[in-house]
Amino acid sequence: MKTIYFDNAATTQMRNEVITSMTKIMQNDYGNPSSSHSFGRSSKSLIEQSRKTIANSLNVSAGEIVFTSGGTEADNLVIKSAVKDLKVTHIITSKIEHHAVLHTVQELETEHEVLVSYVNVNQNGDIDYSHLERLLQTEDKTLVSLMHINNEIGNILDIKRVAELCKSNKALFHSDAVQSVGHYKLDLQDIQVDFLAAAAHKFHGPKGVGFAFIRKNSGLRPIIIGGEQERGLRAGTESVHNIVGAEDALKHANNNLESEYSYIKDLKAYFIKTLKTNMPSVTFNGNSADLDKSTYTLINVCLPIPPKKAAMLLFQLDLKGIACSKGSACQSGSSQKSHVLSEILNEEDLEKPSIRFSFSIYNTKEEVDYVIDVLKEFVEQ
Q: Are 370 and 316 in contact (CB under 8 A)?
A: no
Catalytic residue among 166, 302, 324, 330: 330
Report the pLDDT value the prediction gives residue 327, as an integer from 0 to 100.
Answer: 64
CATH assignment of the domain containing 53: 3.40.640.10
Report the pLDDT value the prediction gives residue 326, as an integer from 0 to 100.
Answer: 83
The tally of domains found in the chain comes to 2
Write phi, then psi, for 39 (nearest 5 degrees). -65, -45
User: Do 210 and 301 fall into the same domain?
Assistant: no
- Residues 194-239: tens digit of each pLDDT: 999 999 999 999 999 999 999 999 999 999 999 999 999 999 999 9
Report the pLDDT value the prediction gives residue 333, as an integer from 0 to 100.
Answer: 46
User: Do 59 and 92 fall into the same domain?
Assistant: yes
Report the pLDDT value the prediction gives residue 335, as an integer from 0 to 100.
Answer: 56
Q: How many CB atoms lie within 10 A of CB 89?
A: 16
- Mean pLDDT calculated for residue range 84-89: 97
Local confidence band at 337 (pLDDT 50, 70, 90 cut-offs): confident
- Residues 134-175: tens digit of each pLDDT: 999 999 999 999 999 999 999 999 999 999 999 999 999 999
User: Do 156 and 239 fall into the same domain?
Assistant: yes
Would the CA dihedral through 223, 227, 232, 236 be positive or negative?
A: negative
User: β-strands 172-176, 142-145: how paired?
Assistant: parallel
Quote the Cα angle for 289-366-248, to 5°.
Answer: 75
Report the pLDDT value the prediction gives residue 310, as an integer from 0 to 100.
Answer: 83
User: Do 296 and 246 fall into the same domain?
Assistant: no
User: β-strands 115-118, 172-176: how paired?
Assistant: unpaired
Quote the Cα angle for 175-56-37, to 5°.
Answer: 105
User: Do 111 and 39 fall into the same domain?
Assistant: yes
User: Do 79 and 130 fall into the same domain?
Assistant: yes
Report the pLDDT value the prediction gives residue 331, as an integer from 0 to 100.
Answer: 46
User: Do 236 and 328 fall into the same domain?
Assistant: no
Q: Which of 227, 255, 283 is the last residue of a domain?
A: 255
Torsion, CA 340, CA 341, CA 344, CA 350, rounded to 10: -160
User: Do 277 and 342 fall into the same domain?
Assistant: yes
User: Do 213 and 64 fall into the same domain?
Assistant: yes
Lowest mean pLDDT among 56-65, 125-134, 325-334: 325-334
User: Do 48 and 83 fall into the same domain?
Assistant: yes
Report the pLDDT value the prediction gives residue 154, as an integer from 0 to 100.
Answer: 98
Question: How far is Cα of residue 284 from the mean position of the Cα atoms in its chain?
Answer: 20
State how far the Cα of 55 lies from the Cα of 61, in Å rounded to an integer: 6
pTM of the predicted protein model: 0.95
Whether 8 has a pLDDT exceeding 80, the answer reads yes
Query: How many helices (H) does the chain have, and how many strands (E)?
Result: 13, 12
Q: Are 115 and 166 in contact (CB under 8 A)?
A: no
Helix axes 16-28, 240-255, angle to 10 degrees: 150
Domain, as residue range, for 150: 16-255
Whether 44 has a pLDDT exceeding 60, the answer reads yes
- Residues 276-302: tens digit of each pLDDT: 999 999 999 999 999 999 999 999 999
Q: Is 324 a catalytic residue?
A: no
Please name which of 78, 76, 131, 118 lies closest in space to residue 99, comparing C-alpha atoms: 76
DSSP 80-100: HHHHHTS---EEEE-TTS-HH
User: Do 78 and 40 fall into the same domain?
Assistant: yes
CATH assignment of the domain containing 375: 3.90.1150.10
Q: Whole-angstrom distance between the N-terminal and C-terminal Cα of the chain?
A: 21
* Amino acid at position 301, single letter: V
- Residues 234-279: tens digit of each pLDDT: 999 999 999 999 999 999 999 999 999 999 999 999 999 999 999 9
Q: Which of 229, 255, 281 is the last residue of a domain?
A: 255
User: Do 248 and 197 fall into the same domain?
Assistant: yes
Q: Which of 207, 227, 255 is the last residue of a domain?
A: 255
